Chains A and B, each alone.
Chain A
Amino acid sequence: MIVNEIKGMDVKIYHEELENGLNVYLIPYENRNNYYVEYGVKYGAEIDEFISLYTHKKTKMPYGVAHFLEHKMFEQEDGVDPFSYFSQSGTEANASTGYRMTSYTIEGTNNLLDNLNYLLSYVNSPYFTDENVEKEKGIIIEELNMYKDQPENVLFEASNKALFKKHPIRRDVGGTPKSVKKINKEILYECYDTFYQPNNMFLVIAGNLNIDEVMNTIKNNKKLNAKKNNGNIKIFKVKEPLEVNIKNKVLKIKNMVNPKFILSIKCPMEKLEGVEKYKYMLCAEFLLYILFGMSSEFREEMLNKDYYSIFYSSSSAIDNFFIYEFICESKYPKEMKEEILNCLKNKNISKDDVERVKKVRISIGVVSSDFPYKMLDMIIDNIIEFGEVIYNRIDIIKSITLEDILKVRNNIILDNYSFVIGYSKE
């Protein structure tokens, strides 16, 4: 077991890779009653073509299988519902599916070892029948209907469809009612067995815990021990062109009272890993903070012009692209868009700006270390994004220079954007 300390945050992270390949991270807190456990698999909605463990052939699955699996893991052969099991000790359980991963969580104040043991057991014992798979479809379709009525969700989906030509991010995580209806128990078992292997999964626990007891419980879990690794999983990614799919789009969206838009800029990104990728993403984040953050001149000017009522920006790495995204509620979408692009292109930034953002970033990090669940999220985000946990983050933040940020800024292709506006339908 390796112990790493995140300096400046007083947080220790214990890491061990088990013999079966499962990566375990523990973040003990003194003086906390609560614990958080997340057991995750690197299998989400963006994976639909892969080499199946059953046929050893390239296989394409209906959309929404990862999400369907998440729902169905709660079905157990002995008829005991995991929610019911955890609630014996007042523990809350949940699960969620994203584009890159699916996770199963529990949160409670007592009975950690027993609950952990149960979590590892139930996620490692699928029980799918024709009947229970069929029954779930009604619930999932209601879930999809719920999202379809959320105006912002409709706008986000339209924006992803404009930005990408082929990438699975164009679709809803849960698939469509049509694709959901195609899913059966054979498909679920095939995907489960292919992806739910220890070396494709991780386990993170934060809060009130004892390292030795927890490790002992994990290592003695029968269901987990019975799991084998079947080697690396081969996944096929679609070839996505650099050029955006649709540059300008105007939509009428039911119940969207005030016009909103999403401006996304699609930039190429060289293949980076670990610390290098962390540094790149940090530079982009700092750039956005300096240009468009709460204390930016841009915000002040736009507010004075009454150009927005909601405005925030974010950046993300998606395969070999780097995306800058601006989400805005505005009475003047077109003018606001021009202002954003102009600022991104022309606004000067100084060394002082960089020092200021570093101080802010470090302070926010210390505050978040007060919350075990935020540390847990950070670890998982690191595993998925960088393939490792970035322990010397404070040193990296301190090392960033104006030149680093300008270099990242230089990679922005300003006119390769998609601009999607949603107006009220009424």
Chain B
Amino acid sequence: MEYLKRNFSTFNLHLIKTKRFKTVSIEVIFNHAIDKNNITITNFLSSILTFTTAKYNTKLKFSQKMENLYAARIYANNYRVGGCYVTDFEMQVLNDKYAEKGLLNDSLSFLSEIIFKPNVRDNMFDENSFNIIKSDEKSQIERIKEDSKRYSLIKLFEHFDKTSPISFNSKGYIEDLDKIKRDNLYDFYKKFINCSDIDIYIIGDIDFDYTSKLVEKYFIFPCKKKKNDNLFLPFKKHREKLQEFVESDNTNQSKLSIACTIEGMTKYEKDYVLNLYNLILGGTADSKFFKNIREKFSLCYYVSSRAFKQDNILVITSGITKNNYSKIMTLIDKEMKDVCEGNFSDNDILKAKNYYLASVEEIEDSPLQLIASYYAIDKLDSDDIEVRKQKIMEVSREDIVKLANKVYIDTVYLLGGDKK
């Protein structure tokens, strides 16, 4: 695998050459400092840009164009990384060798049309596309309530810290949606495209010179680049007494969600120790949570933990019978204290390390994971795959215990399960 980073004045180009895949994957990544008021309009914009363009001005024409590019796929993804809101236009096409010569050229040309030649007239987005996307965004925002796991996490984070980006809802807000008009959306587009932190990744069996020239030809951004440094959020000190919220809802199962703060982690702890701590505690079907709460006491079908290093938090979720709430809290507490006191075996550490190694080795099997890995090296100062494999093995029991003692349960939210 070969990697080449080329610095252009307005963006960085990252080329990864590998013979592993029959496809070429492209990502154009815009990185903006997060602003709660802009989440909804950013989502709206990325949806409308990938819906129609000036030339392919109906959904039908747009879809037929994709078919002509040998069923190419295009997605716009929006997500938060720490204090940034990332918009990523992702395209996957067959390598020229499996389709026809010139497909990469045509695909990059089309992707640039999507970004630079929107379906706009008289400084306003096309009315028909606008109305369709508006209706679609509205139902997407409303639909969050249908997913009670996700909904309860949003409520948990609102209670945890309303002002922190952690609590921002990445699906957006109805109040903000109502304010979006065809003209102010276009104004926003101009600002959006004037982004100072843009990266383009292309991975596949590609020729660096040829691909680089294509990108130079098709992607001309207006703004001078400047690296965004909000990717890590500062940690929040935990409350003296944990706060607890119980909300009734007439459902069969209670959704239990717990937010823990992690105080004062070092970079090394974020990159390595935290992974192992989480795997041992609740990250796998062999974790302390799974073995002791599900298997030993039959109290739930799932109970797991996830760590977010940019946010300095650990989140625990489970689906339970409401009557068992205090029993489960006691067990969760006990498992966490056990790790703090070093009550886990050397074999637990070794297994967690092996999980980590396998997940790192897996990266090379997926074009999108490879892009994410190079992105993390570039943006989050992560180590490369080989260094990661070495460093994880050096993590000691003391490291894990030390980190465990920086983790505090801060907010607990229990939703529903009141159906008789």
Task: List A residues at the B interface (Cβ < 8 Å).
Answer: 10, 31-34, 81, 83-84, 86-94, 108-110, 135-140, 142-143, 145-146, 148-152, 207, 254-258, 294-297, 299-300, 303-304, 306, 309-310, 329, 356, 359-360, 363-364, 366-367, 369-370, 372
B301 on the A face (CB < 8 A): yes
Minimum-distance CB pairs A-B, first 10:
A90-B354, A138-B298, A90-B358, A295-B63, A309-B139, A363-B71, A143-B301, A87-B286, A109-B361, A145-B252
Interface presence of B214 (CB below 8 A): no
Closest to A143 in B: B301
Residues of A within 8 A of B302 (CB): 146
Q: Which of A94, A255, A306 contacts B132 (CB 8 A)?
A: A306
Q: Does the CB pair A149–B253 fall under 8 Å?
A: yes
Chain A: minimal CB distance from B62 (Å): 9
10 contacting pairs across A/B (C-beta < 8 A): A33-B364, A84-B291, A87-B285, A109-B361, A145-B253, A255-B251, A258-B143, A295-B60, A300-B60, A372-B365
Q: Which of B63, B142, B299 contacts A138 (CB 8 A)?
A: B299
Tell me, yes or no, whether B396 is within 8 Å of chain A by CB. no
| A257 and B132 contact, Cβ closer than 8 Å, known pairs A295-B60, A366-B94 | no
Q: How far is the CA of A140 from the CA of B58 in the complex (A)?
A: 48
B301 in contact with A90 (CB, 8 Å): no
Tell me the number of A-to-B contacts counted with CB atoms below 8 Å: 162
B217 to chain A, nearest CB (A): 25
Look across to chain A and name the residue whose beta carbon is closest to the beta carbon of B319. Answer: A146
Cα–Cα distance between A292 and B46 once the two chains are bound (Å):
24
In the complex with contacts A81-B286, A83-B286, A309-B139, A90-B356 CB distance below 8 A: yes
Cα separation A136 to B60 with both chains bound (whole Å): 51
In the complex, chain A residues whose CB is within 8 Å of the CB of B326: none
Question: Which of A83, A137, A256, A297 has most chain B Cβ within 10 Å?
Answer: A83
- Cβ–Cβ contact A309 & B136, under 8 A: yes
Please give the distance in Å from A108's CB to the nearest CB on chain B: 6
Most buried by A among B136, B143, B294, B351: B143
User: Are B361 and A34 in touch, CB under 8 angstroms?
Assistant: yes
Query: What chain B residues lie within 8 Å of A140 (beta carbons)?
Result: 301
* A93 engages B146 (CB within 8 Å): no
Q: How far is the CA of A190 from the CA of B11 in the complex (A)?
A: 65
Q: Are B22's CB and A146's CB within 8 A?
A: no
Pick from B94, B300, B355: contact of A90, CB under 8 Å = B355
Most buried by B among A34, A93, A140: A34
Q: Is the CB of A93 within 8 A of B285?
A: yes
Contacts of B357 in A (CB 8 A): 90, 109
Cα–Cα distance between A110 and B290 once the two chains are bound (Å): 24
CB <8 Å contact, A363 and B59: no
Minimal beta-carbon separation of A65 from chain B (angstroms):
18
Contact B361 A33 (CB under 8 A): yes
**B196 CB-CB contact with A under 8 Å:** no
Which of B58, B98, B251, B355 is in CB contact (< 8 Å) with A300?
B58
Residues of chain A within 8 A of B347, CB atoms compared: 88
B405: interface (CB < 8 Å): no
In this assembly, does B67 line the interface, its C-beta being within 8 Å of a C-beta of chain A? yes
Query: Contact check: which of B20, B139, B321, B361 meets A142 at CB < 8 Å?
Result: B321
**Assembled-state Cα–Cα distance A306/B321 (Å):** 41
Question: Given known contacts A258-B142, A295-B67, A369-B22, what 8 new A-B pairs fall within 8 Å (CB)?
Answer: A33-B362, A89-B358, A109-B361, A135-B298, A146-B253, A146-B319, A150-B147, A295-B66
Contact between chains at B351 and A139 (CB < 8 Å): no
Q: How many Å lie between the Cα of A109 and that of B132 in the bound state? A: 45
Whether B19 sits at the interface, judged by CB under 8 Å, is yes
Query: In the bound complex, how far is the Cα of B361 from the Cα of A334, in angstroms?
Result: 51
Give the residue name and chain of the B residue nearest to A260 (CB).
B146
Q: In the complex, which residues of chain B have a beta carbon less than 8 angstroms from the beta carbon of A138?
A: 298-299
Shortest CB distance A237–B (Å)? 31
Chain A: minimal CB distance from B412 (Å): 19
Q: Which residues of A contact B140 (CB under 8 A)?
A: 309
The smallest beta-carbon distance between B57 and chain A, in angstroms, is 12
The proximity string for B residues 13-31 relative to A, scoring 1 for CB distances below 8 Å and 0 otherwise, is: 0000001111100000000
- The reply to whether A91 and B358 form a contact with Cβ atoms under 8 Å apart is yes
Report B-chain residues with C-beta under 8 Å of the C-beta of A366: 22, 94, 98
Q: Which listed residue, B145, B298, B365, touches A32 by the CB 8 Å rule?
A: B365
Q: Which residues of chain B (69-99) have a CB below 8 Å from chain A?
A: 70-71, 92, 94, 98-99
Residues on A with beta carbons closer than 8 Å to the beta carbon of B319: 142, 145-146
B292 to A: closest C-beta gap in Å = 12
Does B38 sit within 8 A of A, measured CB to CB? no
Docked complex Cα distance between A152 and B251 (Å): 14
Is the beta-carbon distance between A142 and B301 smaller than 8 angstroms?
yes
* In the complex, chain B residues whose CB is within 8 Å of the CB of A372: 365
Q: Is B131 positioned at the interface, with any CB of A under 8 Å from its CB?
A: yes
Shortest Cβ distance from residue B360 to the other chain A in the assembled complex, whole angstroms? 9
Instruction: Assess whether A87 is in contact with B284, with CB atoms less than 8 Å apart.
Output: yes
**How close is B279's CB to chain A, nearest CB, in angstroms?**
9
Give chain B residues whose Cβ lies under 8 Å from the Cβ of A93: 285
Give the complex CA separation of A83 and B251 in angstroms. Answer: 31
B105 interface residue (CB < 8 Å to A): no
A367 to B19, CA, bound (A): 14
Tell me whether B135 is interfacial, beta carbon within 8 Å: yes
Q: Report yes or no: A149 in contact with B148, Cβ–Cβ below 8 A.
A: yes
B20–A32 touching, CB < 8 Å = yes
Residues in B with CB closer than 8 Å to A310 are 139
Residues in B with CB closer than 8 Å to A329 are 139, 143
Q: What residue in chain A is nearest B143 (Cβ atoms)?
A: A257
Whether the pair A297, B60 counts as a contact (CB closer than 8 A) is: yes
The answer on a CB contact under 8 Å between A254 and B251 is yes
Chain A residues closer than 8 Å to B63, beta-carbon distance? 294-295
> Which of chain A's residues have a CB closer than 8 A to the CB of B355?
87, 90
Given contacts A88-B354, A146-B253, A149-B253, A257 and B71 within 8 Å (CB-CB): no
| In-complex Cβ contact of B22 among A91, A294, A297, A367 (8 A) | A367
Query: For B147, what are the chain A residues with a Cβ–Cβ distance below 8 Å?
Result: 150
Residue ID in chain A nearest B298 by CB atoms: A138
Bound CA–CA A359/B132 (angstroms): 29
Say yes or no: A31 contacts B146, CB within 8 Å. Answer: no
B381 on the A face (CB < 8 A): no
Interface centre among A87, A89, A110, A152 (most CB of B within 10 A): A87
Report Cα–Cα, A87/B321, bound state, in Å.
29
B359 to chain A, nearest CB (A): 7
A148 near B58: Cβ-Cβ < 8 Å = no
Q: Say yes or no: A257 contacts B146, CB within 8 Å.
A: yes
CB A191 to nearest CB in B, in angstroms, measures 22
Among B67, B131, B290, chain A packs the most CB atoms within 10 A around the CB of: B67
**CB of B341 within 8 A of chain A?**
no
B64 within 8 A of A: yes
